Amino acid sequence: MTDTMNDAAFVEFQRVQKSYDGENLVVKDLNLAMPKGEFLTMLGPSGSGKTTCLMMLAGFETATHGEILLDGKPINNIPPHKRGIGMVFQNYALFPHMTVAENLSFPLEVRNLGKSEREEKVKRALDMVQMGQFGGRRPAQLSGGQQQRIALARALVFEPELVLMDEPLGALDKQLREHMQFEITRLAHELGITTVYVTHDQTEALTMSDRVAVFDDGRIQQLAPPDQLYEEPENSFVAQFIGENNTLEGVVKSIDGNTCLIQLDDGSEIDAVPINVHNPGERTKVSIRPERVEFNKDRLHADAHTLTATVKEFIYMGDVFRFRMSVAGNDDFIVKTRNAPDAIRLTPGQEVEIGWLAQDCRALDA
Amino acid sequence: MTDASQNAGPMLAADGTPLKQSLARSLRRQKLRALMLVAPLLLFVMFSFIIPIASMLFRSVENSMVQETLPQTVEALQSWDETSGELPDEAVYDAFVRDMVVAVDNKTHTRLGSRLNYEETGMSSMFRRSGRKLGKMDPETDGPFKDQVIEIHEGWGDPNTWAIIKTHSPAVTNGYFLNAVDMRRTPEGAQSQPEDKQILIKLFGRTLFMSLVITGACILLAYPVSYLLATLPMRVSNLLMILVLLPFWTSLLVRTSAWKVMLQQQGVINDTLVWLGLVADDARLIIINNQIGTIVAMTHILLPFMILPMYSVMQTIPDSYTRAAKSMGATNWTTFWRIYFPQSVPGIGAGSILVFILAIGYYITPEIVGGTKGVFISNRIAYHISSSLNWGLAAALGTILLAVVLLLYWCYDKIVGIDNVKLG
Ligand SMILES: Nc1ncnc2c1ncn2[C@@H]1O[C@H](COP(=O)(O)OP(=O)(O)OP(=O)(O)O)[C@@H](O)[C@H]1O
Ligand SMILES: [Mg+2]
């Protein structure tokens, strides 16, 4: 959760708190440091305070407590229009009474750029998002995806060093979304822009970001690169929130360095890596990814603990087989295997022994 | 897309009928139902609005009274040259007596007298006084009439009298409209009214000018209030809204009378100014019974009609526009002027049209606080309807007012565009 606050941090939240009504803290003790050029995603359920953080950074809300630093300087007292931060809003916020080109030229006009320079930059920005021939149109005459691209171009046209995007792809269909995800990351890296991206779509977060900050309840639950977030969740919220996850509940029996023995509620025992458990007797939630579960005996360690599972459902998904099993009292235990030539197709009702490598199984907070 | 459908000719539905036709058929039931739903209102509007307006338009040119009351006289006058300066011959007097005998019998001669009195004062009493004697004559035996008639009232010996009857004899006249623009119908054609009777054009001008001033004042006062209403948190803005709507719950007459109390020379405002020492006691401001009084009171009364459309438009302007503008580096003023204001223009347009059109036809308030210098054309119309009973002139004035409003509306559409008006 805590990132080492290096001196090179470009954006920094220090112990930031925010309350709208003086009764509830919407953001509680936020600490975050971003180096220049990083693409950071804020991911979290609805109402977890993501937009609030973005608005504080942009200057439209003031932090109730704490400091926000931009390039080492506190910005709490700088008005929004002097912060030089590009923004893409969830509903695009393209000015309806201006053409696309006028929209793009607006930030340049308020910076008193000359006409020819403005035109050139607008053209370049439009070409960048492949909307060159749409300069004369009104926003209402564009499709959702086109508006989205214009909003992006407008946020980038004045070459800000920091760009904030609040669920910019929320309204797009899946295909366009994937295309735009690619475009946004490409542009951000090409132009070397520091980006804070807000979404509640975890796939989007994992595919686009250098690092992901998982928000819940006004706090960052984990801040890590996507692979680490998926494979090494630090608490059960993150494990549940990111990707598909199986949870088994039990009590810690013994801890031995990097492994521990867990007794599940039905009495069976499994090995796990202790993450958030420290003493025997603690309750824990054990997390295991569906694709790490193994029921082919040959691939398991000889001394590995195994559980007996009853197959409830078999779902054919093309590239993978997905089984729903009943394991240790959990009826929604999911197992996935790749559709390889030697893959075993289990049938509902069948009983199998399942197991996994101890390092894939993480004992988290209860 | 459009090219394709143009080239392919009319589209066909599955059963081969043109698509448009089968669409129309399927929509017919819907349309019929819609029509039934609006039918009560439609009938109400027909009878209480469209028909009265049509009758007003008709009245402004209708002039059958002379012809109906004096049919033979009118016909006999055809051969008389009114520019000769000579009296018509015996045939006209003969026809006149025949007509009058019938008219006196039906008691229509006094109405004709009042009608012609609009054109020349004195006509009314002339008809009334000579009516009795003329009615007693026997057209078959008592002739010749010329001298007898002139004997009864010397007015009948004035060629001008006959010229007026002839000039106003056509069943359809432009006379009322000429009157409405300070002109009149004379034997020599349309001419301006004498100086001292020229008041209507001035009144039209004043009505337009004051309505514009009132609209302008309303815009200036309403804009900040609407902005506040639209941006404040819901709870506060609802309270403010009630304050805005409060005047609606008070009778118009009461509000206007309150202004009378406020504005008169011994009124609250003058008293306060004198008490503060800003105005000398013997030089109290005259702010009632003149244009200032009308403008102040009407601005107050029409303000909600400006605030409501403005508010409803401003409410739909999302925060994110101004935020986006500021994030791009625009100062508060630039953001307002370049982003917020243009989007609020439809509200200003809707409010202005509403206020202006209401103001231009306003009657009660100018009547009470306007004195003589602050009255509107509608007060004149009311006067002609209820006091002078010259309904034709009233109708002509009303028609001109309607035409002016429509013309302004058309101009507005050309300049601003009527689709730029949003009432909600
Ligand atoms: N202007 C405001 N006044 C009062 N409370 C607010 C305001 N804006 C947000 N909140 C509250 O703050 C909390 C966090 O809101 P925020 O908009 O930051 O959530 P979010 O993470 O962006 O959610 P979403 O994914 O739905 O956009 C919510 O509980 C919300 O009700
Ligand atoms: Mg949000």
Q: Where are the domains of chain B?
A: 65-173, 200-420
Q: Which ligand 1 atom lies nearest to the CA of residue A50?
A: 21
Q: What is the mean pLDDT of residues A326-343?
A: 89
- To which residue do tokens 């366009």 refer? A176
* pLDDT tens track for B123-179: 899 988 888 888 888 888 887 888 888 888 888 888 889 988 988 888 888 889 998
Q: What is the DSSP letter of A103?
A: H
ipTM of the complex: 0.80
Mean pLDDT, all residues of chain A: 89
For each of the domains in chain A, give its residue range(s) and CATH number, in order of start: 9-236 (3.40.50.300), 244-365 (2.40.50.140)
Chain A residue nearest residue B342, CA to CA = A97
Count of A–B CB contacts within 8 Å? 63
Element (DSSP H or E) covering residue A88: strand A85-88
Task: Mark yes or no for CB contact B328/A107 under 8 Å.
Answer: yes
With cut-offs at 50, 70 and 90, classify the pLDDT of residue A187.
Answer: confident
* pLDDT tens track for A84-140: 899 998 888 999 999 999 999 999 999 999 999 999 999 999 988 888 999 999 999
Ligand 1 pocket check for A199: Cβ under 6 Å: no
Between the two ends of chain A, the Cα-to-Cα distance in Å is 18
Chain A residue nearest residue B320, CA to CA = A93
HEC readout, B229-273: HHHCCHHHHHHHHHHHHHHHHCCHHHHHHHHHHHHCCCCHHHHHH
For the segment(s) B200-420, the CATH number from 2.30.40.10, 3.30.9.10, 3.30.1200.10, 1.10.3720.10 is 1.10.3720.10
What does chain B come to in residues?
A: 424
- To which residue do tokens 């800003």 refer? B278
Task: Mark yes or no for CB contact A107/B343 under 8 Å.
Answer: no
pLDDT: which is higher, B415 or A178: A178
Q: Is the pLDDT of residue A5 over 60?
A: no
Closest CA to A218 of A10, A6, A7, A24: A24
- CB of B328 within 8 Å of a chain A CB? The answer is yes
Assess contact for B377 and B200: CB atoms under 8 A. yes
Measured from the alpha carbon of residue A200, the closest ligand is 1
Q: Which ligand 1 atom lies nearest to the CA of residue A21?
A: 4
Assess contact for A238 and A365: CB atoms under 8 A. no
Q: What angle do CA A141, A144, A149 make, to 5 degrees?
A: 95
What is residue A4's predicted lDDT score, i.e. its pLDDT? 46
Measured from the alpha carbon of residue A219, the closest ligand is 1
Q: Please report residues of B whose CB lies closer than 8 A to that of A167.
A: none
Predicted TM-score (pTM) of this structure: 0.77
Q: What is the mean pLDDT of residues A342-360?
A: 87
Measured from the alpha carbon of residue A166, the closest ligand is 2
Considering only CB atoms, A86 lies closest to which of B327, B330, B332, namely B327
With cut-offs at 50, 70 and 90, classify the pLDDT of residue A252.
Answer: very high
Task: Tell me how far apart the alpha carbons of residues B240 and B232 are, in angstroms, rounded to a whole number.
Answer: 10
How far does the CA of residue A61 sit from the closest CA of chain B (Å)? 11
Positive or negative CA dihedral for A17, A18, A24, A30? negative
What is residue A3's predicted lDDT score, i.e. its pLDDT? 44
HEC readout, chain B: CHHHHHHCCCCECCCCCEHHHHHHHHHHHHHHHHHHHHHHHHHHHHHHHHHHHHHHHHHCCECCHHHHHCHHHHHHHCCCCHHHCCCCCHHHHHHHHHHHHHHHHHCCHHHHHHHHHCCCCCHHHHHHHHHHHHHHCCCCCCCCCHHHHHHHCHHHHCHHHHHHHHHCCCCECCHHHHHHCCEEEECCEEEECCHHHCCHHHHHHHHHHHHHHHHHHHHHHHHHHHHHHHHCCHHHHHHHHHHHHHHHHCCHHHHHHHHHHHHCCCCHHHHHHHHHCCCCHHHCCCCCCCHHHHHHHHHHHHHHHHHHHHHHHHHCCCHHHHHHHHHCCCCHHHHHHHHHHHHHHHHHHHHHHHHHHHHHCCCHHHHHHCCCCCCCHHHHHHHHHHCCCCHHHHHHHHHHHHHHHHHHHHHHHHHCCHHHCCCC
What is residue B151's predicted lDDT score, i.e. its pLDDT? 87
Chain B residue nearest residue A103, CA to CA = B325
Tell me which residues of chain B have a pLDDT lower than 50.
1-6
pLDDT: which is higher, B1 or A275: A275
CA distances, A355 to each of A124, A277, A332, A333, B278 (Å): 56, 21, 16, 13, 96
Task: Tell me how far apart the alpha carbons of residues A279 and A274 are, in angstroms, rounded to a whole number.
Answer: 10
Q: What percent of chain A has pLDDT over 70?
A: 98
Considering only CB atoms, A60 lies closest to which of B323, B329, B332, namely B323
Task: Tell me how far apart the alpha carbons of residues B12 and B102 are, in angstroms, rounded to a whole number.
Answer: 72
Q: What angle do CA B288, B289, B290 make, to 5 degrees?
A: 90
**Residue minimizing CA distance to atom 9 of ligand 1:** A52
Task: Mark yes or no for CB contact B338/A58 under 8 Å.
Answer: no
Q: Is the pLDDT of residue A290 over 60?
A: yes
Task: Mark yes or no for CB contact A93/B342 under 8 Å.
Answer: no
Q: What is the mean pLDDT of residues A330-336?
A: 91
